[in-house]
Amino acid sequence: MYKDKKILAIIPARGGSKGVPKKNIIEVCGKPLIAYSIHCGLDSKYIDKVFVSTDDREIARVAKSFGGEVPFLRPEELARDGSKTIDSLVYTVNKLKELGETYDYLVLLQPTVPLRKTFHVDEAIEKLLESDFHDLVSVSEVHDHPILMRKIKDNGELENLLPLPSSVRRQDFPSVYRVDGAIYIMKLDENFNLNTSPNDGKLSYIMEKKYTTDIDTYLDIKIVEYYLEEERKEIARLMK
């Protein structure tokens, strides 16, 4: 709870995963992937419940073993390849309401972003609830700047993505950010519905890019394991 507002964290983790089978519970540096996001939510000073939304009994079992709450499974129709995350979020919030649990804010933590830290989540919660905004999304600065990106017309002609000349020196490029998928926070009011787009949150929370690595391939797992090993070495060094 923060400023007398109850806060629910939802970790969406459907069973189907094509690129990396059983991705949400694949072992990463000795722990199932989903455990990192569960612990991130449980360690928060402000989150009142960490709920895992899944259709998969094995994911549910693993999630419970690491402290996530799974009082019910997500319906199969909300766990298909074409299913939208917002559909499962609305379903979960409404189902919890039926069980007598209501919340003021929802924190969406994608299980595929294991390097995000609890202090990021708590800072984001503080920033949103101290503002006049209703929703927040984490972003990180892009390195492949869109000023150098092009669209290709049907006749093969290149068209600038941004209406800016590419003669601008790289060090003078305006900063541009991308929604990185690490943290989404939404107010649970009358505007929260199936038309809500988490990616379109208005308030920004800027994160360093390394914390936002999203696991989609086996190479991403190697990158995450590298960062986790570096963290382990740094902690060991500081404890000497």
- What letter would DSSP give residue 180? E
Q: How many CB atoms lie under 10 A from the CB of residue 30?
A: 8
pLDDT band of 68, cuts 50, 70, 90: very high
Instruction: Note the maximum CA span of the chain.
Output: 64
Strand residue runs (E) in the chain: 7-12, 27-28, 31-32, 49-53, 105-108, 135-141, 150-152, 158-160, 177-187, 203-206
Domains within the chain, CATH numbers bracketed:
7-141+177-239 (3.90.550.10)
Using an 8 Å Cβ cutoff, are 10 and 95 in contact? no
pLDDT digits (tens, 9 = 90+) for 11-66: 999 887 777 888 999 999 999 999 999 999 999 999 999 999 999 999 999 999 99
106: tokens are 């929802």
The rounded percent of the chain whose pLDDT value lies above 90 is 75
Picking from 160, 142, 143, the residue whose alpha carbon sits closest to that of residue 151 is 160
Report whether pLDDT(154) > 90: yes
Q: Is the pLDDT of residue 231 over 80?
A: yes
Contact 56, 21 (CB under 8 A): no
Report DSSP state, residue 167.
Answer: T
Q: Give the pLDDT band of residue 146 (cuts 50, 70, 90).
A: confident
Strands 105-108 and 7-12: parallel
Whole-model pTM? 0.90
| pLDDT band for position 145 (cuts 50, 70, 90) | confident
Backbone angles phi, psi at 4, to 5 degrees: 65, 20
pLDDT for 170 equals 78
Sign of the CA dihedral 147, 149, 152, 156? Answer: positive
Residue 156 backbone zone (phi > 0: left; psi -120 to 50: alpha; other: beta):
left
